[in-house]
Amino acid sequence: MEEKLKRVYVPMTETGFYILFCLQEEMHGYNIVQRVKDMTDGEIVISPGTMYGTLSKMEKDGLISFIREEEKRKIYQSTPLGTEILQLEVKRIERLYRNSKGETAVGK
């Protein structure tokens, strides 16, 4: 099951990556929208339909879990599985970055 999830989530969509990245700490949907907006200097603004859809999908797949509700806002945090998948994705992006700079695994 976990292997299948890893294949589904890696490579990840940009939205998925930022949401899972932010959820390394407790946050609700709108927190994430604002945080991502700040992090990317306004280049990435996650719309509410996309946010809700991604959160519910990730919760269903066990990547994040619901912590508590504050004033109708659901607060989530990444599970160990979610963090593991995020690490895989980070490694993939690091490899992409190194390769894009002309570094290859053979040359090491």
Partner 1 sequence: MKTKNGMILSRYYTIADFEKEEAFLREQQRKGFQLKKFVLPCFYVFEACDPEDMVYRLDFAEVKKENKDSYIQIFTDCGWEYLFDVNGWSYFRKLADEADEDNEIFSDMESKIDLLGRVTKRRLVPLAFIFLCCILPQLVLQFTGMSSEHSETATFSTFFFWFFAAMFLVYSALFIEMGVGLNRLKRKYSKG
Residue 34 Cβ vs partner 1, minimum distance, rounded to whole Å: 9
Cα dist. 82→31, 75, 106 in Å? 19, 15, 31
Is 66 within 8 Å of 59 (Cβ atoms)? yes
Residue 14 Cβ vs partner 1, minimum distance, rounded to whole Å: 7
Q: Which is nearer to partner 1, 13 or 24 (CB)?
A: 13
Task: Please give the Cα distance from 51 to 23 (Å, whole number).
Answer: 13
Binders of partner 1 in range 43-102 (CB under 8 A): 44-54, 56-57, 69, 71-74
Q: Among the candidate windows 1-9, 11-19, 79-87, 92-100, which touches partner 1 by CB under 8 A? A: 11-19
Is 52 within 8 Å of 29 (Cβ atoms)? yes
Interface residue with partner 1 among 29, 78, 85, 86 (CB under 8 A) is: 29
